[in-house]
Amino acid sequence: MVPHLVTALNGPLHDLEKKILEATPAIERWFRLEWQEHTPPFYCSVDLRNAGFKLAPVDTNLFPGGFNNLATEMLPLSVQAAMAAIEKYCPDAKNLLLIPENHTRNMFYLQNVARMIKIFRQTGLNVRLGSLSAEVTEPVTIDLPDGEQLILEPLERSANGRRLGLKNFDPCTIVLNNDLSAGIPAILEELNEQTLLPPLHAGWAMRRKSNHFAAYDEVVKKFAKMVDIDPWMLNPFFLKVKDVNFHERTGEDALAAAVDTILAKIRKKYKEYGIKEKPFVIVKADAGTYGMGVMTVHSSDEVRDLNRKQRNKMSVIKDGVEVRDVIVQEGVYTFEQVHESVAEPVVYMIDRYVVGGFYRFHEDRGVDENLNAPGMHFVPLAFAQQHAVPDMRAKPGTAAPNRFYMYGVVARLALLAASLELERTDPNPEIY
């Protein structure tokens, strides 16, 4: 499944594709060396946008929740990658505890949990589900549409308080699929004898998008120098704006100034490459996910003229957390289409391996809008073995393997940035 790239201006991207394909051996060696220095996050998904003249990540999720949207033929790859990831932390692992979000009514999310359990079980682990919800005081059985069942159990700390598990279940490894937007629960703190994957500071209680994109900036500069390309081709400009209160309209001037600054930088680049599109920026909460607290802005006047509904939408994110800091990020168009709807690729990784992905598409959204919104649909991306190997003889822009290879490279750049980000924000670096 390769969507049609609906844009006249894809010259720069064709040049980028050519350079990346020619540099494939150097790129793969560079990644190998980087992974000797840095530990990749346990798993990760990256939202990409392909504008034809630019291919860039716009969001990196360290608690991915769409494994059910991956093609089933990618499962063996996921199992191999999960095995490699878990062996690093607990070579003799037998029991794994998976802690999901508290979305017990969201069937799409629960199907993702079921898929993750399937992957971990095929690595040879006993897998059980522990819930952070105070409402789960005894095992709860949930029926899924496909006839499968999930059993959610209450978490328990061990008698000595140093371990976390379930009744009669002591795991070696604990995998979090809960992004901790509402804060870090006490039951997860001070676990001295078990590995928590990802670590607590990867959650939105502590993580900030501005830290991630600052690290990505560094990674891309190094990469672009090696491949001899303009780093802007892979990198959206951004600025962080602190202490914004959308209700009280404080911080508005600083936000408007940041919008003007980024728009001016984009205009300069568009002029350099002869791009006729209208520049825009995305204003979004510096912490948080699920496409909440996100808006498209074409001029700083739009920031000053928000109506009450827009202010309400921007001021609160998941779990009712108030927005205080935002980032103003260069808007990247997406000129890919699935079923005549605007689409964007999302690439999934476990450890340092690309294990698949999907196209997110939305019938009611435009090429300059956030697609992670109610009404979105998914089509699996077949990053199958035959697609993973670039076709060096194909004309730029014509071969599916080459498009997927590029997606995999850019997603891995974001993965590497996430590993730097986690190293730098670790409150206990000596035990990382």
CA distances from residue 158 to 36, 66, 82, 88, 191 in whole angstroms, order as listed: 35, 32, 27, 24, 10
Taking residues 2-30, what's their average pLDDT? 74
- Residues 357 and 156: their CA atoms lie apart, in Å, by 35
- Least Cα distance to 286 among 243, 319, 232, 320 occurs for 243
- Residues 415 and 241: their CA atoms lie apart, in Å, by 24
Query: pTM score > 0.75 for this model?
Result: yes
For 377, how many CA atoms within 13 A lie in the half-sphere containing its CB? 12
State the pLDDT confidence band at 18, using cuts at 50, 70 and 90: confident
Taking residues 47-51, what's their average pLDDT? 93
pLDDT tens figures, 336-391: 888 888 899 999 999 999 999 999 999 989 898 888 888 888 888 765 444 456 66
**pLDDT value of residue 395:** 65
- Least Cα distance to 346 among 144, 83, 71 occurs for 71
For 122, how many CA atoms within 13 A lie in the half-sphere containing its CB? 14
State the pLDDT confidence band at 424, using cuts at 50, 70 and 90: very high
**pLDDT value of residue 386:** 43
Taking residues 74-86, what's their average pLDDT? 92
Rounded to 5 degrees, φ, ψ at 344 are -145, 145
Taking residues 93-113, what's their average pLDDT? 91
Max Cα-Cα span within the chain: 67
133 and 155 Cβ atoms separated by less than 8 Å: no
pLDDT tens figures, 270-299: 999 999 999 999 999 898 766 667 889 999
pLDDT tens figures, 198-256: 999 999 989 999 999 999 999 999 999 999 999 999 999 999 999 888 888 888 899 99
Check pLDDT > 80 for residue 398. no
